[in-house]
Amino acid sequence: MKIASISENKNVEKRVAITPDTTKKYLSEGFEVLISKNYGDHLGFSDNEYKELGANIINDENKIIQDSDILVQLGLPSDEKLKSLKDNQNLIGVLNPFSNKEKINNLIKKKVKNFSLELLPRITRAQSMDVLSSQANLAGYKAVIEAFSNFEKAIPMMMTAAGTVPAAKVLIVGAGVAGLQAIATAKRMGAIVFATDVRLASKEQVESLGGKFLTVEGSENLETEGGYAKETSEEFKKKQEMLLADTLKKIDIVICTALIPGKKAPIIIKEEMIKNMQSGSVIYDLAAIQGGNSELTKVDEVIINEGVKIMGESNILNKLPTSASNLYAKNMYNFVMNLYDKKNKKININLEDEIIEKTLLK
């Protein structure tokens, strides 16, 4: 059984799906590992390191794809590379089926089995495979670091002989995995932290990390069975806007993390609210790639509006690619081993397994 991975477009994606650590694990399970030349060089994972472990380094990426039984990636490979996939091969990654519908339908017609890991069910057994959680944890942490480095005042309260520097006030919009890590990071650095989320179940988690949960009066729990946020009603949106508009006047830094799977990110911070923020404040929008939670967010641009800096990157994890790769590759290994029938040394697509049934694109 051959498991393979080719280089991503490094201008867009610096993470890798197979690390030296997971190479060792695959080989110990009897897999053959194929990767492209200079696959992990940019992360300090040299070809020699992979070779010494027993991986095959191959120059021709189309040959790697054609020879593989399982191709593991971050996202969909290029159109040219997709042509090399054939019947009964398995492609695993974060394939974004909502945006790549036509490409995936073409692969399904070719009888390629496509597994998209962002569709994993929120069940205990799937936690070790949950790429959204592992990557969101790092994204929440890094967003705080980036926002703080662009804020031109001190973060913790400092008492000096010359006077007191007040602690920065931080608002986290969305208290999912990224938001909770952002709360924990901001608190560790001495900020006063507030958070808001449409899921009332988040209140306890926010408060356990030392944040203050902002609740819309008379709100209901807007949470799907899978633990994700639902879209809100117009009435809820108006109440949330009033609460936020008032809160933002005294906030220094906003970290936006609110996403609805498969849909455009909800616009939560309107231009009018930004106008009332203090000059020198920073908004870091982690939802930028899906449209942004701030009305003024532009992907990979820093917008300054009336003294407020609004930032949003297409892939913040490119700033932590080694840590992100290590976690992603372990998630991937755990998913592959759930698919793998060790006894018969083949992939077993058991649709009675909720993990397989939910992630297989049909």
Domain spans, the chain = 2-119+321-359, 132-318
What does the alpha-carbon distance between residue 324 and residue 338 come to, in Å, rounded to a whole number? 21
Q: Which of 130, 197, 252, 285 is catalytic?
A: 130
Provide the pLDDT confidence category of residue 229 given band limits of 50, 70 and 90. low
Please say whether the beta carbons of 195 and 175 come within 8 A. yes
Q: Is 125 a catalytic residue?
A: no
What does the alpha-carbon distance between residue 215 and residue 203 come to, in Å, rounded to a whole number? 8
Provide the pLDDT confidence category of residue 296 given band limits of 50, 70 and 90. very high
Q: Which of 36, 133, 134, 281 is catalytic?
A: 133
| CATH T-level fold of 2-119+321-359 | Rossmann fold (3.40.50)
Please say whether the beta carbons of 45 and 21 come within 8 A. no
pLDDT in tens, 54-108: 999 999 999 999 999 999 999 999 999 999 998 889 999 999 888 899 999 999 9
What does the alpha-carbon distance between residue 115 and residue 98 come to, in Å, rounded to a whole number? 13
Report the chain's terminal Cα–Cα distance, integer Å. 24
pTM of the shown model: 0.89
* Dihedral sign computed on CA atoms, order 222, 226, 228, 233: negative
* Dihedral sign computed on CA atoms, order 229, 235, 239, 241: positive
Q: Is 199 a catalytic residue?
A: no
What does the alpha-carbon distance between residue 328 and residue 333 come to, in Å, rounded to a whole number? 9
b/e code 15-40 from CB counts within 10 Å (16+ = b): bbbbbbebbebbeeeebbbbbbeebb
CATH superfamily of 132-318: NAD(P)-binding Rossmann-like Domain (3.40.50.720)
Structure-block tokens of residue 295: 């009305």
pLDDT in tens, 132-180: 999 999 999 999 999 999 999 999 999 999 999 999 999 999 999 999 9
Please say whether the beta carbons of 75 and 94 come within 8 A. yes
pLDDT in tens, 236-289: 778 878 889 999 999 999 999 998 766 788 999 999 999 999 999 999 999 998
Closest CA relative to residue 75, chosen from 58, 53, 100, 52: 100
Please say whether the beta carbons of 117 and 129 come within 8 A. yes
Q: Is 130 a catalytic residue?
A: yes
What does the alpha-carbon distance between residue 141 and residue 327 come to, in Å, rounded to a whole number? 15
Structure-block tokens of residue 90: 């398995």
* Dihedral sign computed on CA atoms, order 137, 138, 143, 144: positive
Measured from the Cβ of residue 182, the count of other Cβ atoms closer than 10 Å reads 36
When pLDDT is averaged across residues 110-130 and rounded to a whole number, the result is 94
241 Cβ contact partners less than 8 Å away, ≥ 6 residues apart: 270, 273
Q: Which of 66, 99, 127, 233 is catalytic?
A: 127
Q: Which of 21, 46, 219, 228 is catalytic?
A: 228
The answer to whether 2-119+321-359 and 132-318 have equal CATH topology is yes
Closest CA relative to residue 73, chosen from 138, 8, 1: 8
pLDDT for residue 228 is more than 70: no
Q: How many residues does the chain have?
A: 362
Structure-block tokens of residue 78: 């290029």
Torsion of CA 91, 92, 94, 96, to 10 degrees: 40
What does the alpha-carbon distance between residue 192 and residue 178 come to, in Å, rounded to a whole number? 18
What does the alpha-carbon distance between residue 305 and residue 62 come to, in Å, rounded to a whole number? 47
Q: Which of 21, 47, 122, 278 is catalytic?
A: 122
pLDDT in tens, 14-54: 999 999 999 999 999 999 999 999 999 999 999 999 999 99
